[in-house]
Amino acid sequence: MNLEAVSALIAKKPSLKAAISKLEAMEPGTYVVHRSWGFGQIKSYDEAAERLVIDFQDKPGHRMDPAFCVGTMDVLPPHHILARKQTEAAHIQNLIDKEPGELIVEALKSYDKHATTAIDLEITLAQVVGETKFKKWWTATKKVIAKDPRVAVPAKKTECYILREVPVSAKDELMEAFEGTQSARRRISIAEKLIAAVEKDDDMTDLLKVLDIVTEAVRESNQLSQAERLYGAAVRDDLAVLTGADASALSPSEGEIIGDVRDLTEIAASIPVGFQSRFLALIKDTHPIECRDAVFTLLKSSQGKFTTECINFLIENEYAADLAETFQRWQVEQNLRAPVLLWIVKNRHSKKFAKLLNELITPRLLSAIFFAIDYEALQAASARRIPLGDMLSDDPDLIADLLATADPEIARDLANTLMLNQGFEELTKKSLLARFIKIFPNIQSLVAGDAEGKEEALLVSRESYERRHAEYELIVSTKIPENSKSIATAREHGDLKENSEYKMAKQDQALLMSQKSQLEKDFESARITDFSETVADQIGVGSIVTLKNLGNGQTPTYKVLGAWDSDPDNYIIAYKTPLGQALLGKRKGDNVKVKIGSSEEEYEVTKLERIPTPAS
């Protein structure tokens, strides 16, 4: 924009005076990055309409108010790597393909003081390299720049990549950091990076000193948790191998640290992802007899990638049949947790696991999925996403696969369970219900019935009611007012069509209002009980039941409580769960049959009593 056009804008809006240099830089031909529209190029300025004409990738010829652009758009200097991607396309592409480290150096030169955060650099490079190939390219490039003496690599994404004035080797930089800290935890982390940075022909004198210090830290430090001590011992042993020292002479050994099998679950919860496979192999070496049961225990409470690691370990060690049987048993006992369920549905069509999972892909598994989603939603302190729920929504074939062997009555029961689930927004429920209706058209009557009829009362304990009511109060008294303020603030930024803050705040508003509406619906159908109406000779809501598995002889004891009381860890089941429903009305000595895939398991009710109540 020329000086006259800038002056005319400032005359109308004096607050723009502070941005005069940025307005003057908005010249035709200049490249820009907008917060909402991304990378583009200014084509012209329409003085009569006071609008910039900008070609964005998905919005060519887009007209924008310069005053609005001041706060939402960055003007790129000619030497910026994104601008050079356009003006020096062949050169930049050659750096991408053949000299990725040099591209990082050139990119850092684009920034003031030759430094920028890891987050910002990754966003910029993704646009330079291309979104489709960036992830793989960046994984390889990080290994290159980790050894580039010209670039200081940050430990966290919020910290900065820095182009050094004087190059420093990665090894020297790490040694300086190692010597500059007294933290045992930090020393172990740096020692691990040193192993990757050292070449085979390097002088090992410094590494031998590091080995001695890490060995002492693992043995003596009271700063380390058991998991950190184990990982430190693994890094120590790798250092010993690299330097030619005798790892077997170092104490405590990795095996000694996990000598008590009861510690494994706590250790597993904190070990790094990259150490998980090695951890399982170590369990096998240290506890050869207890190994199978130990890994099944770890799998039951596993999360994320560790779930996959445990399953692969069991299969590779010829426990596939035991794994299939255990999955079936956990399903009956309502002990199939969300991470394991997520792994099952993701791998149901895999050639490697199809035989293992085939009998699990039944309506019963869908019931377990609904239970796990509901449980996770009740436990969550915020409106965070539930991965298992997302999987159910995103995989268009999953519900059809799980209902393949269902009869209309079972499908209807599952559809009812879906409509009562706390883990889905109302729109998502309707979308999922449509998949049920496509297979079983008669379920359409549920929609009409829901609109006409009164919902069945839900029996809930006072404690669970108060927990849910506290969640409601937090939404109404805190989250919704804060969201309203955010909407008002965002509205002040101007043009709502291009105001990303406003759009995000409105999306949050829709989510909060949906949660509020669902909770109000729950309260209408909830009936608080103290379980005092439970009879002693028949299983009802408020019974304590001991069962004997007639197949394997196991005798679990369950409490059958209210609709919102489920706590599988403590053998508490809600009466609305499939197992709870199967038990209702049974008496001592009665048998309960539970269908598992193509077979059934049978239990005998061996003991029955009421839970203590205030009246008793």
Q: How many Cβ atoms sit within 10 Å of the Cβ of residue 386?
A: 22
| pLDDT at residue 491, as a whole number | 66
Domain boundary among 75, 93, 114: 75
pLDDT at 492 over 80: no
Residue 447 pLDDT greater than 70, yes or no: no
Residue 547 counted as domain residue: yes
> Which residue type sits at 540?
G
User: Looking at the structure, do residues 59 and 112 belong to the same domain, yes or no?
Assistant: no
Residue 606: pLDDT above 60?
A: yes
CA–CA gap between residue 596 and residue 325 (Å, rounded): 10
Same domain, residue pair 463 and 516:
yes
Highest mean pLDDT of the ranges 307-311, 470-474, 609-613: 307-311
Token pair belonging to 120: 């910002």
In the three-class reduction of DSSP (H, G, I as helix; E, B as strand; rest coil), residue 56 is classed as strand
Residue after which a domain boundary falls, among 26, 45, 75: 75
Asked which of 54, 75, 96 is the last residue of a domain, the reply is 75
In the chain, what percentage of residues exceed pLDDT 70?
Answer: 93
Predicted confidence band of residue 453 (pLDDT cuts 50, 70, 90): very low
Higher pLDDT, 253 or 455: 253
In sequence order, which residues have a C-beta less than 8 Å from that of residue 537 and are 6 or more positions away? 587, 588, 608
Question: Residue 458 domain-assigned?
Answer: yes
Residue pLDDT, tens place only, 65-108? 888 888 889 999 999 999 999 999 999 999 999 999 999 999 99
Same domain, 198 and 247: yes
The pLDDT value recorded for residue 527 is: 87
> At a CB cut-off of 8 Å and minimum separation 6, what does 122 contact?
138, 157
CATH number for the domain spanning 555: value is 3.10.50.30
Distance CA 275, CA 234 (A): 9
Using CB atoms within 10 Å of the CB of residue 177, give its burial: 0 to 12 exposed, 13 to 18 middle, 19+ buried.
middle
Following DSSP, what letter does each residue of 114-137 receive, concatenated?
GEEEHHHHHHHHHHHH-HHHHHHH
Q: Is the pTM of this model over 0.75?
A: no
Strand partners, 62: 54
* Contact between 608 and 539 (Cβ < 8 Å): yes
Strands (E) across 57-191 are located at 62-64, 73-75, 115-117, 151-152, 160-163
The neighbouring-strand residues paired with 161 are 116
pLDDT given at position 550: 86
DSSP state, residue 570: G
Is residue 106 located within the same domain as residue 120? Answer: yes
pLDDT (tens digit per residue) in 377-414: 766 645 467 889 899 999 999 999 999 988 888 888 88
* Domain co-membership, 116 together with 193: no
Range of the domain at 130: 81-168
100 within domain boundaries = yes
Residues 517 and 583 in one domain: no
Identify whether residues 113 and 140 lie together within a single domain: yes
**In 10 A of CB 515, how many CB atoms?**
20
148 lies in the same domain as 197: no
Label residue 494 by pLDDT band (50, 70, 90).
Answer: low
Same domain for 176 and 164, yes or no, is no
In sign, the C-alpha dihedral spanning 586, 587, 588, 591 is negative
> Lowest mean pLDDT: which of 79-83, 103-107, 212-216, 447-451?
447-451
Does a structural domain hold residue 28? yes
The total domain count for the chain is 5
Residue 175 sits in the same domain as residue 249: yes
175, part of any domain: yes
The pLDDT, as a whole number, for residue 44 is 93
- Does some domain include residue 375? no
Verify that 606 and 572 share a domain, yes or no: yes
pLDDT band at 598 (very low <50, low <70, confident <90, very high): low
User: Can you give the CATH number for the domain in which 60 is found?
Assistant: 2.30.30
Residue 376 has pLDDT above 90, yes or no: no
Predicted pLDDT at 454: 47
Lowest mean pLDDT among 68-82, 179-193, 420-434: 420-434
Q: Quick check: 157 pLDDT over 90?
A: no
Please report, for the domain that includes residue 522, its CATH number.
Answer: 1.10.287.180
**Structural domain contains residue 493:** yes
Residues 391 and 346: beta-carbon distance below 8 Å? yes
Q: Do 192 and 163 share a domain, yes or no?
A: no
Does residue 51 lie in a domain region? yes
Asked if 85 and 115 touch (Cβ cutoff 8 Å), the reply is no
pLDDT at 197: 81
Q: What is the pLDDT of residue 499?
A: 57
